Chain A
Amino acid sequence: MSFGSMVFLFGFLPAVLLCYFLLPARWRSGRNGVLLVFSLIFYAWGGAALLPVLLLSCLGNWLLALLVFPGRRGRKGIYLAGILANVAMLGYYKYTGFLLGNLQALGLDITVPSIALPAGISFFTFQAIAYLTDVYRGTIPAEKNPARLTLFMAFFPQLLQGPILRYGEFAPALTDRRESSAEAAAGATRFCFGLAKKVLLADALGTIADAAFSSGDRLTMSLAWLGAVAYTLQLYFDFSGYTDMAIGLGRVLGFSLPENFNYPYVARSASEFWRRWHMTLSFWFRDYVYIPLGGNRCARGRQLLNLLAVWLLTGLWHGSAWNFVLWGLYYAALLMGEKFLWGKGLEKLPAPVRHAYALVLIVIGWVFFRSGSLAQVGQMLSAMFGAAPGGLWSGETTYYLLQFRWELLLAIPAALPVKCAVENWLRKQSGLPARAVLVLGPKALGFALLGWSVVRLLSSTFRSFLYFQF
C-alpha cells in the first residue's frame, strides 16, 4: 500500500488512528498490537502471497537473536549463519534474476526465473541484520517477545522505504513513548508536506525524466540535461517525501524515527552529499560493513578496498543491474578521490565552485542510477556532453520547460533549506503576527497541500514510490 493512495489516506489511515487512539494510552501493549496488525495488513495489501517472507524473516531473526547474545555457546556460528540466511534471502529474491541473466548472457543454457520481489525486502533485511549484529555485539539485549520484534521490522510508516531503524532506538518507544497533540500536529503537518513533495513535485518532474530517458534518437543535449536535473529533483522529492510521511506518521503515533535527509543538494562534495542523503543507509554501511572491515584505521590499500566494498554493496543494494554497480563504483571513485587526491584542494575553492562541482557530479551519478542499461548510460552522458543525436535543442525541451515550469521553479527552493531560514527568521521576530504565522502557517499550508495532493491523486494514474523497488 502506498501512502499516496486513496485507500491509505481515506481508509487505512483513519482506521488505524481510530483503533489506536480509542485504546487507553496506558494499555501500551494493546496499542502496539493495533500497530502490528495494521502493519501486516499494510504489507499484505500489495499481495498477501509475499507476507510469509516478511513473517519468516521476523520470526527467524527473533529466534536467532535469542541464540547469539553474549555468553551463549556456539553463538558466533549461529550469528554468521543468521547473517548468511538474511543475505541469502535477499540474494534469492533480488539478485537471482540478475545473476542467472548474466550467466545466460555468457552463453550458459539457463532459464532465468521470474521471482516476485517482496516490497521493502532490502529495508527490513538490513534492519534484521543490524538487530542480529547489535545483539551479538551485546549492544542491546535480545527481544523475547516476537510480536515486538515483528512490529519493529514491519512498522508500517517505514516498512517499505525506511528510514532504516535500529532496534536499540526503537525498542524504548514500544513501552515509553508518549503521544501528544503537539507531536501529532507536527507529525501530521510533516505528513502533508511529504505527500505534496511526492504528488505535486516528484510525479510531475518524473514525467520530464521519463520522457528524456526514453527519447532515443530524439534526445538533444538540452533534453538530456533537463531530464537528468528533473530526475535529480524527482528522486529527492519522492524519497524525502516518503521519509517525511514516515517520520510524520511516527510522530503522530508517538515514535521518533531518525532523519534520512539533510538537504543533500546543498552539499559541496560527494562525501558531504552522502552525509546528507539517505543517512540511515550510510550509517548502516558504516556501522555494519565499513568499520567491521577495518574502516579508516588500516593501511591505505585496505582503506581503498573497504571503500570499494562498501560502495559496490551500496550500488547492488539499490538494484540488481550493472548500472547500479557502475553507480556504486562511480561514488567509490569520487570518495576515494576526495579522500586521497583532490579533497584538500577542493576545500580551498570558493563555496559556489564546490557547490557546482558537487551538483554536476550528483546529477551525473543519477544518470547511472536512472538508466535502464549501460547503453542508456552512455547515450545520456554523451548527449549531455555534446554528442546528442537530436542536436542541441528541440521543441520537446521547450514543451517540458513550459508545461512544468511551476514545478521546476518550486523544486529548487524546496530542495534548499529555505523553509528553515524562514522559520528561523520568524522565530527571531517578537510580534504576534510572526508568532501566528509560525504556529498557523505550516498547518494551514499543510492542509491546503493535502487537499491539492488528493485532487492530483484523483486526476492522475496511481504512481508508486521510486524506492519501492529497492
Chain B
Amino acid sequence: MEKWMNRAFLALLLAVLLAVPAGTALWSHRETTAYYENRTLAELPDLSWESLRDGSYGTDLESWYSDHAPGRTTLLELDTAVQLNVLRRPVVNDVVVNAPALLPKLDFDEYTEEAYQYSAQPIAEDFGAISAFVEGCGGQFYYAGFPEQRVYFEDLFPDYLNSHAQEAETADRVFAQALSDAGVTFWDMRQVYEELGHPAEYYSTVDHHYNYYGAYAAYRAILEKLAAQDWDLPVLTEADIDFVELPNPYIGSRNRKLYNLWPNTDRAVIGVQKDPVAYTRWDNGALSDKPLFVLPAEDYMPTTYNLYMGGDFAETVLETDRPELPDVLIFGDSFTNALETLLYASFDETHILDLRHYTEKSLKDYVAEYRPDIVLCIQNDTFYYTATGNGAVWEDAADGT
C-alpha cells in the first residue's frame, strides 16, 4: 500500500513539474502585459555567449518564466485573496487594506525639510523660466497642485504606519514657497478642499485620484481664480450638469493591485452636460471620435479612471469653434483627465499635453507655436519634486529637437 502511495505521490509531483513547462511553452505567447500589476511582462531573452558568461541570461529567463507561468494571474489572485481574507495582513501587495480607504504602504523613512528645499529650487527655477516664457508669448502661466489620495486621506492610515502627513505638509509648503519665489502663480488645491470642508466624497477610496466631485470642485475653484485674474470665461454650474453615478464596478489603481478583491462601493461619476458644448477632438494629431467619457459597453463591465478622456494621451486638442474665448494649454499628470471634460467648455481651443509621453516638441516650442492665452500645469503633489516627465518644463524635446 505504502509503495503505491509513494509511486502515486511521485507521479503527481512529476506531472506538476512537467505540466508547468509544457503549459508555459503552449501559452506563454498569449499575454504580453499583466493588467493587475499594470506592467509589461518580461520578454524571452536572447541567448548569447555574453549573457551566458555573465549570468544575465539566467536572470532574464527566470523573470520571463515567472511572468509566463501558466495560471499565474489566477494563482496570484488566489494568493491575494488568502492574504486579505485568511491571513488578514494589514498590508497586501504594498497596499494598506485595514483602513477605510486603500492607501499605499509608505516607507518609514522621511526626507528632511532641507532635502526638499534643496530639490525644490532648481525645479521651481524651471517653472519660473517657462512662466516668464509664456508671458513673453502673450499668455499667463498657472500651476494647480493637487493632493494625491494618500495625502487627502492621510488621517486614515493606521496609527502604526507612517502616513508622512508632516512630511507631505512640509514638502507642499516648501514647493509652494519655491514657486512663489520663482514668480510662478501656484494654486494649492489642498487648501481649496480644506476650505470646502475636506469632503470625503471628493476622493476615491480605491484609486489614487480624486473622483469627479473632487474634479468639479477643483474646476470651479480654478475658474474662480482665473476670474480673479480678469479672465471672463463661461462656467459650467451644477445646474448645467447632471452628475451620473455609473453602475459599473470601479477598479481603482489601488484595488487593481489587489485583483479588485477589496470590498467597496466606489463608483465612477461622470458629469453629463445638459446642453453640451460641441467640440472637435484630435488625439496625437489625428482626428478622434472619442467622447469625453469612454464608457463600458455593458453595465456589468468594470471601468477605471481611464474613462475620463479615454486615459492619458501625449497630445489632445479640443476645438469648440468659439473664437471669442481664449485658448488654453493644459499639461500635467492624469489628474488633468477628469478636469479636461469640464475645462474645455470654458475655452475656444484646449490643447492638452502629457509630457511623460509627448516628445514631438519641447513645451516652450509648443507654447511659441500655438501661443495659448493660458498655460495651466496640473500635477498631484507626488510629482512636485519630479524633474522628468511633466516636471521637465524647460528642456528641449526628448528627440533632441
Contact = CB atoms under 8 A, between A and B. Distances in A.
A9 interface: yes
Interface in B49-75: 52-55, 58, 61-63, 65-66, 69, 72, 75
Nearest to B5: A439
A462 B66 contact: yes
A455 B79 contact: yes
A181 B16 CA distance: 17
Contacts of A7: 58, 61-62, 65
Interface residues of B, number: 44
Contact of B14 (A14, A189, A218, A439): A14
A140 B393 CA distance: 75
Contact of B72 (A44, A395, A458): A458
Given A47-B53, A188-B9, A455 B78 contact: yes
Contacts of A17: 14, 17
Interface stretch (A91-99, A287-295, A398-406): A398-406
A10 to B, nearest CB: 4
A447 B13 CA distance: 8
Interface string B383-401: 0000000000000000000
Interface in B93-133: 93, 108-109
B52 A44 contact: yes
A289 B160 CA distance: 51
B67 to A, nearest CB: 9
Interface string A181-194: 11011001100000
A172 interface: no
A17 B18 CA distance: 11
A396 B160 contact: yes
A283 interface: no
A185 B6 contact: yes
A378 interface: no
A181 B21 contact: no
Given A10-B69, A13-B17, A46-B58, A447 B12 contact: yes
B42 to A, nearest CB: 11
Interface stretch (B83-91, B183-191, B208-216, B235-243): B83-91
A49 B21 contact: no
B28 interface: no
Contacts of B369: none
Contact of A14 (B17, B52, B87, B160): B17
B259 to A, nearest CB: 11
B233 interface: no
Nearest to B11: A181
A85 interface: no
B55 to A, nearest CB: 3
B30 interface: no
Report the interface size class on chain A. Answer: 35 or more
B58 A10 contact: no
B10 A181 contact: yes
A347 to B, nearest CB: 42
A1 interface: yes
A211 B52 CA distance: 34
Contacts of A399: 90-91, 160-161
Contacts of A181: 3, 6-7, 10
A402 B5 contact: no
Interface centre among A9, A44, A399, A456 (most CB of B within 10 A): A399
A342 B24 CA distance: 61
22 contacts: A6-B65, A7-B58, A7-B62, A10-B24, A17-B17, A46-B55, A47-B55, A47-B58, A182-B3, A184-B6, A184-B10, A185-B6, A188-B10, A211-B108, A398-B160, A399-B90, A440-B5, A455-B75, A455-B78, A458-B72, A458-B79, A462-B63
**Shortest 6 CB-CB contacts between residues of A and residues of B:** A47-B55, A395-B160, A185-B6, A398-B160, A10-B20, A14-B17
Given A7-B65, A181-B6, 18 more contacts: A10-B20, A10-B69, A11-B65, A14-B21, A46-B58, A48-B53, A49-B54, A184-B6, A185-B6, A218-B109, A395-B160, A403-B91, A439-B5, A447-B13, A455-B76, A455-B78, A455-B79, A462-B63
Interface of B: 1-3, 5-7, 9-10, 12-14, 16-18, 20-21, 24, 52-55, 58, 61-63, 65-66, 69, 72, 75-76, 78-79, 87, 89-91, 93, 108-109, 159-162
